[in-house]
Structure 1
Amino acid sequence: MSARWARAALSAYRLGGAAAYPLAGPYVRWRASKGKEDRERSRERYGVASRPRPEGPLIWVHAASVGETIAIVPLVENILAFGVNIVLTTGTVTSAKVVQERLGEGVIHQYVPLDLKPAISRFLNHWQPDLAIIAESEIWPMTILELGARHVPQVLVNGRLSDRSFSAWKMRPNIAEALFENLAHVVAQSEADGERFRALGARPVSVSGNLKVDTPPPPVDERALQSLKRQIGERPTWGAVSTHEGEEIMAAEIHATLRKRHSGLLTIIVPRHPDRGEALAEQMSSMGLNVVCRSKGERITADTDIFLGDTIGEMGLFLRLTEIAFVGRSLTLQGGQNPLEPAMLETAVLAGRNVQNFREAYQRLIEAGGAKLVRDRNMLAGAVNFLLSNEAARYDMMAAGTTTVEQMRGALAHTLKSLEPYIQPLIVKSRLKGAGDR
């Protein structure tokens, strides 16, 4: 496809988006019915602002979901310290809660507008950002094109391209180049990601490391933690966290096998999507297991087999209850989930082999001895059994993981340095405005 045809295709995308705009209502209402949209703020998805724009320079920061939001909180806090206003958009209800909990009124939160021209134009007309900072792999063609048409600098931070995304873009190289040429800078997570962005036409590209490494450990309610520890007592535990369909039942089956060898074993299962909790509890109960659900406030007793972590925002609590964690979306699905939080909380990390989305983090952890990949359920059961039986080996893995995370830190400083040419003029402008107001 030539460059001319690529631009024609993007123009068609723009027109198609405008034509599809009237059909967006049913889609948003359907998501709201599933609890995936905030009904009271659904107009924000059409670009209708629910807050006034503050005077002075303003940066638009976007993070898609919970993981990306947590990763950019330290970055946002650093920018806010310079006195520049931020409108922070996210795409999910849970990520909105994270923004409220961790940043409060320090930022203006809005739900990200749909990637359709009328919605994006309305959003940009109101907020008039001086700079757009996009986290990870959120490549929305209409948003990028509209920002480019308005000459708003766009910087992709913590940039990552999965194997699937890179393959898809490689099949449309001219479209990729026509989009990525609008990015003023790409700050990639790894050298591999950096090379992929360069291959698709992005310039300039720098490498920072993963911002998720520079986040503090996930928070915990100390009273809840101590209460649960008293309920568990001296029982051996292991966890399966950020799990997806098939992995929870696999963990329950492993529990049924290992409890014969490890008296009093408690298995902690934390599904990636807590709304599946009720169905999972029923399935596990039908297997003859005693299941306690965190969402119901049920107590862990001596005969509890499974503690189901079916709540939002309590990963820090669940990880602090065990020294062994299988990280999901790595056996039954591909891509993997973030192993850094378990590692920084001194947890021995296990995962399946499908961890492409966190390849570098797993490579570093595996090389240092802080993580181990398993082939299937039987190999996972064997690894859990080994770590439960061998305290020294378990402690070595825990220590190696924590040390590796410490060695990987520094992405925040690198990212701030890359952003400096774009943020510094806004800092000066904000200070001049403040002096003028006095």
Structure 2
Amino acid sequence: MLKILYRILWYIAAPLAVLRLLARARHERGYIQHIPERFGYLASYSAHNNAPLIWIHAVSLGETRAAQPLVQVLLDKCYNVQVLLTHMTPSGRALGEQLFGSRVLRCYLPYDMRGPVRRFLRAWRPVLGIIMETEVWPTLINECRYAGVPLVLTNARMSERSYHRALRFGAEVRQVFGSFTHVLAQSSVDAQRLGALGARDVTVVGNLKFDIKALPELAKLGRAWNMAIGHRPVWIAGSTREGEEAFVLDAYYQLGITNILLIIVPRHPQRFDEVAELIKHRGLKLARRSEWASASTIQSVHKTTTIAPLPDDVRVLLGDSMGEMQAYYAASDVAFIGGSLLPFGGHNLIEACAVGVPIVIGPHTFNFEQASIDAITSGAALRVRDSTTLARAVRIVLTDRTRRVAMGTAGSAFAARHRGAIHHTVDMLSALLPPMKP
């Protein structure tokens, strides 16, 4: 009965989903592009030229970053194979294009209806499907099983909140999770929850985000920005979500450090202008990365491009660019990881730890539960509750150089200690992957 209801709801929701895409396109043009792909209609049904095709679904930015090590291994070590990356958001698709260019194929994953999903599978004929993290679409999973496409849930995580929600669906959810060929979990807690939901052949392999390679070019770009900023303490609030910037700005006023530069990097590009207006409304002098350092790119760093000094009266730098988080972290003395002050579940703190910048996180990190606990335990991160405790933590880190260095060193060691998930993942997938290059 639930299956029938689910299908009916999707056919009702599909026209509304298109209207939502059109509405979101007012702020992010990418939402209006490639709409037929969301219904399984592709530009070319022979895009992969009969080569074995491995399909990886990475819904948005975070999952695309997590997929980076795996995609890199497949491109470097498998021969006569093509990789298809699917996404649900323009930001995820843009990052995939930035990371891999024409080396991978890309399209949007169709909506979870039988017709679109069947068209998608007929068009691409993947020999293996890899779903990143927590993307569970019942129709897609069932259709892959009927089509004989092995489907692996990779870098899988299951928060306590999502686990209890899923339990409400009883046998239906167990059938869905039981249809995965393998489940490769980030932690033993994730593995236990996924197994209780019906997943078979669950193995703990670790978190692929620890294996994301830091690009030397981005680190160099960040250092160039830092030099252009001058001798000022720099605090970054990265991957902030709606409503959090107000708390961050409240904390900024409470700091009592007059010459500090605050960098705010919203999670979603469609919010850049909105956040800029909020900063101006607070009476703070704003600069946008796209205007101040428009000539400073990864490519220009190789040519030792000189970046104009950031004016001393600029109090907030808006990070209105994509794919440069490593550079923002490298330019900073302390980092607050967004999505955690309000109940969004947090975002990836590993990237900042790997750069060696001290971390501050809020109370809501259920999407990165184990990594957050481990980072705090290792001395790399501090947890805060609100804007007042956020200001206090940032002040402690910025004014105590010994502690700041110790936290940064602990973060680098924490990130290095947990690397290796990519090797375990490839080992587990080896029976399903095409041959590796000699």
TM-score using structure 2 length: 0.89
* Distance 1:185-1:23 versus aligned 2 partners, 3 A rule: same
Counterpart for residue 371 of structure 1: 381
* Distance 1:173-1:37 versus aligned 2 partners, 3 A rule: farther
Counterpart for residue 94 of structure 2: 97
For 2:206, the aligned partner's letter is G
Distance 1:278 1:56 in 2: 43
* Distance 1:18-1:149 versus aligned 2 partners, 3 A rule: farther
Counterpart for residue 401 of structure 1: 411
For 1:418, the aligned partner's letter is M
Distance 1:43 1:231 in 2: 45
Counterpart for residue 270 of structure 2: 275
Counterpart contact for 1:232–1:300, Cα < 8 Å? yes
Select 2:69's aligned residue among 61, 74, 80: 74
1:11-410 → structure 2 map (5 Å cutoff): 11-14=4-7, 16-17=9-10, 25-35=18-28, 37-51=30-44, 52=46, 53-80=48-75, 81-83=77-79, 84-217=81-214, 220=217, 225=222, 227-258=224-255, 260=256, 262-297=257-292, 300-410=310-420
Counterpart contact for 2:56–2:84, Cα < 8 Å? yes
For 2:161, the aligned partner's letter is R
The farther-off stretch of 288-297 and 97-106 is 288-297
* Distance 1:99-1:12 versus aligned 2 partners, 3 A rule: same
Q: CA deviation at 1:277?
A: 2.7
| Structure 1 residue ranges without an equivalent (≥5) | 1-7, 432-438
Q: CA deviation at 1:16?
A: 4.9
Q: CA deviation at 1:300?
A: 2.4
Residues 61-101 of structure 1: CA deviation (Å, up to 9, x unaligned): 11101111111122122123212222211111111121112
Distance 2:13 2:394 in 1: 50
Counterpart contact for 2:222–2:329, Cα < 8 Å? no
When the two chains are superposed, the root-mean-square deviation of aligned CA atoms in Å is: 2.3
Distance 2:124 2:3 in 1: 24
Counterpart contact for 2:234–2:262, Cα < 8 Å? yes
* Distance 1:17-1:323 versus aligned 2 partners, 3 A rule: same
- Could you say what secondary structure the match of 1:421 adopts? coil
* Distance 1:22-1:317 versus aligned 2 partners, 3 A rule: closer
For 1:209, the aligned partner's letter is G
Distance 2:148 2:8 in 1: 21
Q: CA deviation at 1:21?
A: 5.2
Distance 2:24 2:230 in 1: 42
Residues 82-134 of structure 1: CA deviation (Å, up to 9, x unaligned): 12222211111111121112112221111111111111111111111121111
Counterpart for residue 9 of structure 1: 2
Distance 2:282 2:10 in 1: 48
| Percent identity over paired residues | 35
Q: CA deviation at 1:395?
A: 0.4
Distance 2:62 2:315 in 1: 29
- Could you say what secondary structure the match of 2:430 adopts? helix
Q: CA deviation at 1:22?
A: 6.0
Counterpart contact for 1:211–1:412, Cα < 8 Å? yes
Q: CA deviation at 1:287?
A: 2.4
Residues 214-263 of structure 1: CA deviation (Å, up to 9, x unaligned): 001266557854553333111112111111233212222222232x4x34
Distance 2:215 2:112 in 1: 31
* Distance 1:129-1:264 versus aligned 2 partners, 3 A rule: same
Counterpart contact for 2:21–2:31, Cα < 8 Å? no
Counterpart contact for 1:336–1:355, Cα < 8 Å? yes
For 2:111, the aligned partner's letter is L
Q: CA deviation at 1:14?
A: 3.5
| Structure 2 residue ranges without an equivalent (≥5) | 294-308
Distance 2:16 2:223 in 1: 50
Q: CA deviation at 1:38?
A: 4.6
Aligned residues: 419
Distance 2:20 2:277 in 1: 30
Runs of 4+ in 1 over 4 A off after TM superposition: 18-25, 218-224
Counterpart contact for 1:21–1:118, Cα < 8 Å? no
Counterpart contact for 1:275–1:310, Cα < 8 Å? no
Counterpart contact for 1:330–1:355, Cα < 8 Å? yes
Distance 1:132 1:380 in 2: 42
Larger Rg: 1
Distance 1:25 1:274 in 2: 20
For 2:204, the aligned partner's letter is V
For 1:313, the aligned partner's letter is G
- Could you say what secondary structure the match of 1:369 adopts? coil
Residues 388-427 of structure 1: CA deviation (Å, up to 9, x unaligned): 111001100000011011001111011111111111xx43
Distance 1:22 1:28 in 2: 10
* Distance 1:31-1:253 versus aligned 2 partners, 3 A rule: closer
Distance 2:435 2:263 in 1: 47
Distance 1:29 1:284 in 2: 27
* Distance 1:290-1:156 versus aligned 2 partners, 3 A rule: same
* Distance 1:287-1:25 versus aligned 2 partners, 3 A rule: closer
The farther-off stretch of 223-232 and 369-378 is 223-232
Counterpart contact for 1:218–1:315, Cα < 8 Å? no
